[in-house]
Amino acid sequence: MATRNHPSGTRPDQPDWLTLTGLGRLYGISAVLCGRLLGEAGLRQANGNPSPSALREGLAHGGHPGAGTLWHRQGCGRVLEAAGLVQPARHTLIGQWVDLLSTLAAGAPGVKSSVEEMADELPEDLVSPVNAELQHRGCGFQVQPQARRRASACRAACSSSSRRRSSSV
């Protein structure tokens, strides 16, 4: 079966537009708390309708009397994440990376990969939350942003190839 590209990187089982209940469920919170956080961000009015800016920015659809409001999954998700929420699946992934990197940083006998080599595999969008959790746990290792990791890997590869050339002479 052929796969289709969907707008905003979504899959068919992940609709772009959700109710407050559906949006809150993604983050493990109630619709009430989700609505309150959107209100604090200026996207939802006290009467429950989307604010003019939410409508203008394309973060809400509807809000007419008698009709429900739908909220944009990615746009509102960024607002909720800025308020400190993390989707549970993402939270688990961050924890797994932190466990791995902190164990490698402490020294894991029998493991041939370095903590830096493993950090190179970390997706860029997880660098900041993983670093924050590593720091919170008291681990001195911090993952460098992708551009620095690539430059570092390039320097390491260049120096390793020059060592091989000089040792073979």
126-140 confidence digits (pLDDT tens): 888 899 989 998 999
Residue 34 pLDDT greater than 90, yes or no: yes
Structural tokens at position 21:
């209940």
Domain range list for the chain:
16-82, 88-167
Exposed / middle / buried, residue 126 (Cβ in 10 Å: 0-12, 13-18, 19+): middle
Q: What is the predicted pLDDT for the residue at 40?
A: 95
Q: Cα angle at 68 between 64 and 69, to 5 degrees?
A: 80
**pTM for this prediction:** 0.52
